[in-house]
Every structure is written in C-alpha cells, then in structure tokens.
Amino acid sequence: MTKPFNTRTRRFTWLLAASLVLSAQAGTAGAEPAGGAASGALTAAIPATQTSSASASTGRIAVELDGRPLQTETPPVLVSGSVLLPIRDVFEALGAKLVWDDDSKTVTATRGQMTLVYRIGDPTALLNGQTFTLPVPGQIMDGYSLVPLRFVSEALGCDVVWDGEHRTVRITSTFTYETTVAWGVNLRSAPDPDSETVGEELLPAGSKLHVVREAGALWLEVRSADGRSGYVSAKPKYTDYRSDALADKQADELIAYGKTFEGTPYEFGASPDQTKTFDCSSFVKRVYEDILSIELPRVSYDQAKEGTEVGLDELRKGDLLFFGARGLDIGHVGIYIGDNQILHTYSKELGVHIEAFDGQWKKRFVTARRVF
C-alpha cells in the first residue's frame, strides 16, 4: 500500500533512482555520463559485494547539492546498483513543483518552461512532450514510489556524479544565486507572515538566494544556497532584488493603502504614530513604512534626501514629489500615483485627497525622489 502524496505534511516521499553501471575495478570513485554528457546516464564503480543482492544496502549514502549536504526526508539507499533518492526533496530544492495523481500513479514536475510527466512502471517519460527512455523503470517499494535519476539530469539540466569512495551523490544545479539578503529574514513555507518557517534560523545578511518568481507584490519565492526552498519578503529592506514589474506591483499596494485614508483630517505636526490625523510628511512616512517597511525621516525636507532623484519625464507610480511651501525651499511632499495625479494632504478642508499634478503644483515643484 502506497503512502498518500501530501504536499503539506510531506509524508509521502518520492525516491529518485540513479542508474549505476558496475565497474571492473571495485572501489573506484567517480562517474561520467555513458555515451557522452547528453545521454544523461550515470556510470560509476560499485564494488560487486554491494550489488550482488536485489535487497537495499543499509550503508548510509549522502547527498550534496551545490557542495552542501541536502537533508532528505528518507535516507538514500542502494538497491542492485542504483542509488535511490527522495525525488520530492531534490526537486523542490531545485525549484520544481510536483503534482501526484494517485489514480494513475503519475507525477508531473514543473519548473519554468520545463514539464515532465511520468507514470510509475513505464519505461519512458515525457519531457515537454518529447519521449525519453528511463534507464530504470519506476517502481513502488515499501510504500514509496521510485523514479530514475534522469528526472534530475535531463529534466532539470543538472550535473550528477556518484562518488563511490565516499558513498555520496553530488548534484550541481544550474542556478545562479543572484540575490543577496540585506537584512536577516525568515524563509517561510508560504507567502504569508504567519506560515511556518523553513529551518529554525533566519537567513542572515549576506546570504545568497536564487529568485524563482515574484509571488505577488510582497513575496519572493526563492531557493537558498543551502538547498532550502520557500518564500521571503520582497520588501526592499530585506534583499537587493529589484525589478520594474515588482516595483509596479508594490506601488499599487502602496497607493491602494494610501487611498484608504482619503478624507482623514489634516493636522500640522501630526504624530506619525497614529492615523486619526496627518500632515503631508507624516502621511507619506506612515504609508511607506506600513506597506514596504521603508523608514523615511519625519519631515519633508529630510525625506527629499532619500533614494535617488528622477526627472519629470521619468516618473513612475510610488515616486515622491517635493514642493516649495510655507516659505521653505521644500515644505510639502506627495505621492505620485500615475496619470499625472498626486495623493497628499495639506488642507483642513480636504484632508488626504487626490488632485492633478498641474497648475500651482507644477510651479512649486522642486524635485522627485525614488525610494524603491
């Protein structure tokens, strides 16, 4: 009886079978693809004493991903010359998603433009609609479903080497870890601050991440350099990841939140620690901090020193606009919300409101700053 496939509890574990060819010299380490790298087959030296029986070897086998130990839910085993690895742990660590159809005993793995479909027991699988032959057909053993290593080497484009001397499978991914953690952040199991953390410790500043995708305006789906997959905050303070698409989504979140305060009374010198009243700079400070955790100075003159300056022909949603007011070079600030409009507050009669960026505002305009 097979164990149920449950993506939350991970109680059902897929195993990945590495096809290994016996060598004439027992104890030799190392491996190379049979027939060239493109074949995806893995050959290695395994002592005859390890492969003489169809039963699984109980000697411990380690797995490394990009030079780091990969913790697997089920320990790898050696069966008749094949190393069996948990496919769920490997695929998810490499950023792929798995879907299991229990009726047909079929697994579908996806990552980016790759889609791999395999039914347990079949000698072939479909990779982006193309058929390829597996070195070992999938099987079910002791309640776990087994599939061959070519799921990794061919589907995900990884290099896989069996180190017989050290009984270690070494997987080298094609990932580049292009994003750096700027502020200690939790790796979470879902794009939700209340979801469980993946691992007990924060990802410290300086850690490297691969961004799999932007999961909305406030979350990034990532893979860490130590092989963990999950979600981290997309707020600017936490990583150096930036994109125009993400900035646009975050601006929409910022503006939508700011609009919830429309009509809130204006009070000069209003405390930024409350939302019953605002002045121009306390309003901007509160909105940016609540949505994006961007901590701006209290007054507009100092806020105008943050971020980078942008020209009027470069404005995008979420940029800050600064104006001369009350005899000061810079005495007023508003949020540019697109379509030549400003979200701001300066009048007891109007409170927080939206108006066109023209007329007096164009005449009093001093500078625009981009802070995310």
- Given the residues 158, 166, 210, 280, select the one marked as catalytic: 280
**Is residue 167 over pLDDT 50?**
yes
Per the annotation, the verdict on 166 as an active-site residue is no
Task: Fill in the DSSP letter of residue 277.
Answer: S
**Is residue 44 over pLDDT 70?**
no
Among candidates 121, 128, 89, which has minimal Cα distance to 105? 121
**Is residue 6 over pLDDT 90?**
no
**Pairwise CA distance, residues 223 & 263, whole Å:** 43
Give mean pLDDT, residues 47-64: 52
**Pairwise CA distance, residues 297 & 344, whole Å:** 17
**Pairwise CA distance, residues 117 & 203, whole Å:** 34
Per the annotation, the verdict on 332 as an active-site residue is yes
Q: Which residue has the higher pLDDT, 146 or 326?
A: 326
pLDDT for 123 equals: 87
pLDDT band at 81 (very low <50, low <70, confident <90, very high): low
Residue 75 corresponds to which amino acid?
P
Residues 322-333 pLDDT 10s: 999 999 999 999
**Is residue 342 over pLDDT 60?**
yes
**Is residue 293 over pLDDT 70?**
yes
pLDDT for 1 equals: 43
**% of the chain beyond a pLDDT of 70:** 81
Give mean pLDDT, residues 257-261: 98
- Exposure string (b/e) for 141-178, b if CB count within 10 Å is 16 or more? eeebbbbbbbbbbbbbebebbbbbeebbbbbebebebe
Contact 94, 223 (CB under 8 A): yes
The token pair that represents 166 in the structure block: 């050290």
- Given the residues 158, 210, 332, 353, select the one marked as catalytic: 332
**Pairwise CA distance, residues 372 & 370, whole Å:** 6
Among candidates 236, 246, 334, 333, which has minimal Cα distance to 289? 236
- Given the residues 158, 166, 210, 344, select the one marked as catalytic: 344
What DSSP string describes 243-260? Answer: -HHHHHHHHHHHHHHHHT
What DSSP string describes 171-188? Answer: EE------EEBSS-B--B
Which residues fall within 8 angstroms of residue 268, CB to CB, at 6 or more apart?
279
Which residues fall within 8 angstroms of residue 280, CB to CB, at 6 or more apart?
300, 332, 333, 334, 344, 345, 346
Give me the torsion for CA of 280, 182, 308, 353, rounded to 10°: -20
Residues 179-190 pLDDT 10s: 999 999 999 999
Contact 317, 255 (CB under 8 A): yes
pTM of the shown model: 0.65
**Pairwise CA distance, residues 45 & 217, whole Å:** 50
18-22, 94-98, 196-200, 295-299 — which is least confidently predicted?
18-22
Per the annotation, the verdict on 280 as an active-site residue is yes
